[in-house]
Amino acid sequence: MDTIILLTLTGLGLAALYFLVASGLSLVFGLADVLNFAHGLFLGVGAYATWWAAGNLPGAGPDGLGFVVAVAFGVAAGTLMAVLVELVLIRPLYSRTIEQVLVTVGLSLAGVALLQATWGADARPFPRPEWTRQVTSILGAQVPNGGLLLIIAAVLVLAAILAFLQWTRYGLIIRAGVENREMVTALGIDVRKAFTLVFAIGGAAAALAGALGSVYFGTVSPQQGGSLLIFAFIVVVIGGMGSVVGSAYAAVAVGLLQQFVNYYGTSGLGDICVVALLAVVLLLRPQGIAGKVATA
Amino acid sequence: MTEPVLTVEDLSVRIAGLHILQGVSFTVAPTGVTVLLGRNGVGKTTTLRAIVGLTPRNGEVRGTVRMSTRSLLEQPTHRLVRGGLGYVPEDRCVFAGLTVAENLRLAERRGTTAAYDRVFALFPELDRRSRQRAGSLSGGQQQMLAIGRVLLNDNQLLLVDEPTKGLAPKVVTEVAEVLERVAESVPVLLVEQNLAVVRRLAHDAVVLAAGRVAWTGDAQELLSATALTKSLLGVGSAQGEHHGAGTEPGAPASTPGPAREDGS
């Protein structure tokens, strides 16, 4: 029984990581129709900025309030990066899908190369609070605190995004824009501001995933963003483009499936099952769990 | 003569290689309803969408469109709408996942007071159904929401695209009544297939055929001339029914109207 609980909670930790990356990706695609292959770079920037801040930024450190400051710095760096990418590279290319893909893939490759050139290709130990290295006993299962931290962060981010979408003017614009972007502009709203905002939200969530994911794994590496991005895309497609709640459901399904199959089957079989799940969803419900057929 | 509220000159639109509008010119009077007529696929909706800046990215627009003295074609849609150009699209386009209240709230603008009193006076049902999802409204209620959304702000001109399309006869009458009341305070450029509605509302008419203006003049005069109506619209005006038949939207009409492009 404790094995089931451990697998469930570590699976949910993985799901939390996927959700943090996928939620922004889903909003960006749902609203702006941008397939952002550079989203993994926001995660990498967040992770490295947190790692750098913990060792160099005054007031920041690997423990206590200093760690919070370091993570806040990482999230700010990822957010800034996302906003700059939207304003400088994506904005001139709206409705030009092929160019968007080329630019974001190129940026992703260049970003990883830059991180490698600056800090090396090998994974580096990530400074993290001592308590995140420990485990908590839950119904007999020894669950890593780093995973629990990810779950708590993902739940808070989900609640914050839903509250933002439900209760703010820009949230309303984003929900409407995911349904019919053209009609939003026909009501006198400059939807481009909402595009920048969803990039900022996505960048912040991905950077947080980078920082807390590095805490969970104990290391930071330039390739981290790219490998997580593949599963984040799968989560977005299964959940439905533009649906944050759909991304949450899909992330849980993918995380648990991966964890259980990898444990009870052979290592790597979980990844194959996730791709099979994607294929089944695409065949039976192409718009995803909670996705809508997009217009305009 | 009073200055027109909208002047369209030599408007041409190409979309994906199709030359849909070919030098369309007409004006919209500063009061009442001007109706844009024509068979299916002659470019009526394309004309409205070009005026409000919603031509697809793969489209090309040429010509001049002025509202009062302001040139419109160079400006983005949201700025045109904020400048007083209201647009009610074909098929309503309400946000199905949002409530009625949220659909209306989207149309509110910073720095101005939203005219909820005006909207709820015209459509009391929207007030009663404010917490209902727009996607669960009937077609007529959705049309009222689409019109109400635009009336929340003051406009210099309303572009209304086929507001009675797909509605039950009783609802068509209600929508026509509302548009009649709206047109008392703001000019309307209306695309409409229902000739009974046109007869009730329109002062002026512009008839398009194969992407060109085939006739302009007094709407009642057009509708009283059965032979002319039949040649331009493919249906006798006395029938009072929907006109237009056959061709796909965006494609040139198979039977162009008389080539009299007086365009004034």
B-proximal residues of A, 82-101, CB under 8 Å: 95
Could you say which of B82, B89, B96 has the minimum Cβ distance to residue A188? B82
Q: From CA B89, how far away is CA B160, in angstroms rounded?
A: 6
Check pLDDT > 80 for residue B242: no
Check pLDDT > 90 for residue B220: yes
- What radius of gyration do chain A's Cα atoms show? 19
Half-sphere exposure of A267 (CA within 13 A, CB side): 0
CATH architecture entry for B6-91+154-239: 3-Layer(aba) Sandwich (3.40)
**pLDDT-based confidence at residue B255 (cuts at 50, 70, 90):** very low
Q: From CA B86, how far away is CA B259, in angstroms rounded?
A: 31
pLDDT for the residue numbered A97: 86
Cross-chain Cβ contact A190/B78 below 8 Å: yes
**pLDDT-based confidence at residue B262 (cuts at 50, 70, 90):** very low
What residues does B215 pair with on adjacent strands? B207
What element of type H or E holds B85? strand B85-88
Name the H helices within chain B. 44-51, 77-82, 100-106, 116-122, 124-128, 139-151, 169-182, 195-201, 219-224, 226-233
Cross-chain Cβ contact A179/B95 below 8 Å: yes
Mean pLDDT by 10 residues, chain A (296 residues): 91 96 91 89 96 93 91 97 96 87 95 94 92 91 93 96 95 92 95 93 96 94 90 94 92 96 91 95 90 50
Interface of B with A (CB under 8 A): 52, 54, 57, 76-79, 81-82, 87, 89, 93, 95-98, 102, 105-107, 109, 149, 153
pLDDT for the residue numbered B191: 97
pLDDT for the residue numbered B241: 55
pLDDT for the residue numbered B85: 96
pLDDT for the residue numbered B97: 92
Check pLDDT > 80 for residue B214: yes
* Domains parsed from chain A with CATH numbers: 2-284 (1.10.3470)
pLDDT digits (tens, 9 = 90+) for B77-114: 999 999 999 999 998 899 999 999 999 999 998 888 89
Mean pLDDT for chain B overall:
88
Over pLDDT 70: what percentage of chain B? 89
| Phi, psi of B108, rounded to the nearest 5 degrees | -65, 150
| Distance between B20 CA and the closest CA of chain A, angstroms | 20
Check pLDDT > 50 for residue B254: no
Q: Which of A187, A189, A244, A245 to mutate to test the interface with B (most CBs of B within 10 A)?
A: A187
What residues does B7 pair with on adjacent strands? B27, B66
Q: Which residue of B has its CA nearest to A181?
A: B95
CA-wise closest residue to B150 among A107, A289, A26, A186: A186
Q: Which residues of B are less than 8 Å from A175 in CB distance?
A: 95, 97-98, 102
Q: Are B135 and B180 in contact (CB under 8 A)?
A: no
ipTM score of complex? 0.85
Q: Are B200 and B220 in contact (CB under 8 A)?
A: no
**pLDDT-based confidence at residue B132 (cuts at 50, 70, 90):** very high
**pLDDT-based confidence at residue B217 (cuts at 50, 70, 90):** very high
pLDDT for the residue numbered B149: 96
pLDDT digits (tens, 9 = 90+) for B135-156: 999 999 999 999 999 999 999 9
Cross-chain Cβ contact A180/B54 below 8 Å: no
SS3 B161: strand
Q: Is B3 exposed, middle or buried (0-12, 13-18, 19+ CB in 10 A)?
A: exposed
- Boundaries of every domain in chain B: 6-91+154-239
In the numeric block, the tokens 């030009």 are attached to: A96
pLDDT for the residue numbered B237: 54
| Distance between A52 CA and the closest CA of chain B, angstroms | 42
Q: Which residues of A are less than 8 Å from B102 in CB distance?
A: 172, 175-176
